[in-house]
Structure 1
Amino acid sequence: MAFFQPNSTSTASKHFVDPENQPWVEKYRPKTIDDVSAQEHTVAVLRKTLVSTNLPHMLFYGPPGTGKTSTILALARQLFGPDNFRNRVLELNASDERGISIVREKIKSFARQTPRAQAVASDGNTYPCPPYKIIILDEADSMTQDAQGALRRIMETYARITRFCLVCNYVTRIIEPLASRCSKFRFTPLDSTSTSSRLSYIASTENIDVTPEVISTLIETSGGDLRRSITYLQSASRLSSSTNPPVPITPHDIQEIAGVVPTAVINDFARTLGVPIAEDMDVDDLPANGKLKGFNAVQKKVKGIMREGYSASQTLSQLHDTIILHPTLPARQKAQCALAFAEADKALCDGADEELWVLEVGLRIHKAVTTS
């Protein structure tokens, strides 16, 4: 939880962090809403609120790492400026402070305070500084039902001097009376172009030499989560610079840091199961070789994967993508494989043995793919 107290010299020095020691996700967090990547519709609407300064209660929802918290923080800084930000904005993480007592104590006491008069900005810029405060409730979908119910009345009572911004991943977990009081903004996973552009900018600023293959691997392993991909890039940079001389960052390094199974391992496993792999399409005898592989070959490959310490669920997830997105496998075979993946997912969630279920899925895929 981040509880912003009124500004002071001691508080400012206490929270000062050398940019060199900052996590890159904080260092490169958008300073203005125009810096927010990919969310054009939301940015366009919020840009108009900067002109009118008439901000409604808002509900930001969407997958992690898509810029929800960054957007409202950037908007608040543009509204209030650096001097008034600390006494006009309260940021709470509802996943930590989610009970009704927090709503009745911290939120209500902050909401009822009348905002101070606008002060002259120390940086020489002019800010709108409207006559209200903003309360940001991050991870609001973790709040209890009672807490959400209590929040409903506070939002109505103090709407003149306090505006709320609820930030969540799952909008269905916000009670309807609360959601209906807010303007909803949906944040979508970042497209590859936006993510690539931002990662390339960070790499250039930090003087890191990254190849397009590394950027592509970062995007693939993060699944549209920009925060995660920036974290992976920083970890890879630290790993690269730890040697003398520094070694270049490779896609394999990114996969190791991300905890995913290397593509070569998944492709090798798929070959053992008889699944044609793109780079092998020119090999005439691959289908025949695939059909020659039986139980012993599959079992040996599964044992090898488990011995390397790879997660069963991660292995099956990547194998699922390889098969379901395969350009030549018939739909019937994909459906049979999907059923095996679904049963394995349920079993692993219930605590079943990982190696046995990877073997089970492997054998069922082998049977579906190699049986004409």
Structure 2
Amino acid sequence: MLWVDKYRPHSLDKFELHKQIAANLKKLVVSGDFPHCLFYGPPGAGKKTLVVALLREVYGPGAEKIKVETRPWSIELPSRKLEVELTTISSNYHVELNPSDVGNNDRYVVQEVIKELARNRPLDVAGNKGFKVLLLSEVDRLSREAQQSLRRTMEKYSAGCRLIMVASNISKVMEPVRSRCLCVRVPGPSHAQIQEQLSLVARKEGLSVPVGLGERVALLSQRNLRRALLTLEVAYVQHGGLDEATKVQPPDWELYCMEIANDMLQEQSPKRLYQVRGKLYELLGNCIPPELMLRALLSELLRKLDDELKVEVVKVAAFYEHRLQQGQKPIFHLEAFVAKFMALYKQWMQANFG
């Protein structure tokens, strides 16, 4: 088992990273008041771990007895019949799903699938709560129509169903949805906190993390604890131990994004754009989220650009990141960003160096 899963805290009492948040959630459960919740914060901050611990606090160990299934859903629309496949993780007390997995059909999933799940209340066994919890991941990626449908569902089925939503960017969640939830901000851990957690996990494995290695891993993790633990474990497996000289490197997909950024800077031509398109397709084929690809490309480009160009390139990236949220085909918008950057960079080069 991976270290990141092996040493994940399973109860609110054992949370070291977000002690105050865990204590407040426990008070909420004890009080008997359990509203719809929205957990938001950067990736790897511990949002999902807090939610799982909260479910265990409410329902007991039974909430951890889960099954994963992918099943087809048949949704009757006025003009046609829509067939979608959705993967769910469920126990007797909760169901976890990601409606954004079905793309622009997410509003139908919210309208029909969640309604069906919300109607089925769990049995009130041994004094457990008489409502079911629906855990929705990546709510910030839902379309506007889906979020509007979600608002109505929250109101209609609030008696027998509680929604717990997880988002990385709360600004992409509509105000009517936010206003109906208890919003819990889960901040990303600091570099010092990440180093502390790395040392704690290593000690449980009978290892020690040198200060220099811990600093490098924390810096590379970009305040993402999950990524930091995975990076440390990869370094340990590759080198057979942990010492000051142990090398750490970014994930392969990030190295590939760096290569694409270098390609964009070296040559600006239709031929190079075609080559970059192939590499973007390869990353998408390996299930790398397009938003992460765009962010990694922008970060690498900004490191190598003149200050005069940086503001314009950030504006272009923001424009196409917004288009990514609205459109269906990520490759169109990623390629458009690459083409626009190449045009800007070539124009700047000609103006400054003839």
Equivalent residue for 1:91, pick from 92, 96, 114: 96
SS of structure 2 residue aligned to 1:216: helix
C-alpha distance in structure 2 between counterparts of 1:260 and 1:153, whole Å:
40
Kept in 2: contact 1:135–1:162 (CA 8 A): yes
Question: Is there any run of 5+ residues in structure 2 with no aligned partner, and where?
Answer: 65-90, 256-264, 267-295, 318-336
| Matches of 1:59 and 1:166, distance apart in 2 | 5
Q: Report the Cα distance in structure 2 between the residues aligned to 1:252 and 1:340, rounded to whole angstroms.
A: 37
Choose which of 21, 24, 34 in structure 2 pairs with 1:55.
34
1:319: how far off? Answer: 6.8
Tell me if the contact between 1:140 and 1:167 (Cα under 8 Å) persists in the aligned partners: yes
Match of 1:253 in 2: 247
* Separation in structure 2 between the aligned mates of residue 144 and residue 258 of structure 1, nearest angstrom: 30
State the match for 1:306 in structure 2.
none
Structure having the higher strand fraction is: 2
Alignment-derived partner of residue 231 in structure 1: 230
Aligned to 1:145: 144
Mapping 1:203-218, distance limit 5 Å: 203-218=202-217
Change (3 A) 1:249 1:139: farther
**RMSD (CA atoms):** 3.2
Contact in 1 for aligned 2:56/2:62 (Cα 8 Å): no
Q: Is the 8 A contact 1:111 1:161 kept in 2?
A: yes
Q: Secondary structure at the match of 1:103?
A: helix
Shift of 1:313: 5.1
C-alpha deviation, 1:31, in angstroms: 0.6
- 1:71 counterpart SS class: helix
- Measure, in 2, the Cα distance between the counterparts of 1:190 and 1:353: 36
Cα distance in structure 1, aligned partners of 2:251 and 2:309: 29
Q: Which residue of 2 aligns with 1:291?
A: none
Q: CA deviation at 1:111?
A: 1.0
Residue-by-residue CA offset, 1:191-244 (whole Å, 9 max, x unaligned): 223212111111112233421111111111111111111111121121122xxx
Q: Distance in 1 between matches of 2:227 and 2:26?
A: 27
In structure 1, how many angstroms separate the alpha carbons of the residues matched to 2:10 and 2:135?
Answer: 17
Tell me: CA distance 1:341–1:75, structure 2 relative to 1, closer, same or farther (3 Å). Answer: same
How far, CA to CA, are the matches of 1:149 and 1:251 in structure 2? 53
Query: How far, CA to CA, are the matches of 1:84 and 1:211 in structure 2?
Result: 38
- How many residues end up aligned between the 2 structures? 263
Change (3 A) 1:73 1:251: farther
| Distance in 1, Cα, partners of 2:31 & 2:249 | 46
Counterpart for residue 155 of structure 1? 154
Q: Work out the CA distance in 1 between the residues paired with 2:214 and 2:175.
A: 40
User: Which residue does the alignment assign to 1:328?
Assistant: none
Distance 1:113 1:26, change over 3 A: same
Identity value in percent: 29
1:130 correspondence with 2:118: no
Residues 35 and 338 of structure 1: is their aligned pair in 2 closer, same or farther, counting only changes over 3 Å? farther
Candidates 28, 43, 54, aligned match of 1:75: 54
Report the Cα distance in structure 2 between the residues aligned to 1:236 and 1:158, rounded to whole angstroms: 48
1:331-367 Cα offsets, whole Å, 9 max, x none, are xxxxxx644443465688434459x78x97xx99xxx
| Bigger CA radius of gyration | 1
| TM-score of the aligned structures, taking structure 1 as reference length | 0.62
Correspondence 1:109 to 2:116: yes
Alignment of 1:1-372 (within 5 A): 22-85=1-64, 86-97=91-102, 99-119=106-126, 129-241=128-240, 248-250=242-244, 253-255=247-249, 257=251, 315=300, 317=302, 338-343=307-312, 349-351=337-339, 352=341
TM-score (ref. length: structure 2): 0.65
Residue 249 of structure 2 aligns with an amino acid whose one-letter code is: Q
Compared CA separation, residues 315 and 43, structure 1 to 2 (3 A):
same
Question: Which whole-Å deviations, capped at 9, do the CAs of 1:254-286 have from their partners, x for residues lacking one?
Answer: 13558879xxxxxxxxxxxxxxxxxxxxxxxxx
In the TM superposition, residue 144 of structure 1 has moved relative to its aligned partner by 1.7
Amino acid at match of 2:95: L
**Secondary structure class of the residue paired with 1:184:** strand
Deviation at 1:63, TM superposition (A): 1.0
* Amino acid in the other structure paired with 1:350: V
Aligned to 2:285: none
CA distance in 2, matches of 1:198, 1:93: 29
1:258 and 1:202 mapped to 2: Cα distance?
Answer: 24
CA distance in 1, matches of 2:128, 2:197: 30
Which shows bigger deviation, 80-89 or 230-239? 80-89
CA distances 1:27-62 after superposition (whole Å, capped 9, x unpaired): 222211233344344223202013123211111111
Q: Distance in 2 between matches of 1:183 and 1:251?
A: 46
What CA distance in whole angstroms lies between the structure 1 residues aligned with 2:121 and 2:316? 55
SS in 2 for 1:135: strand
Contact kept in structure 2, 1:134 and 1:165, CA below 8 Å: yes
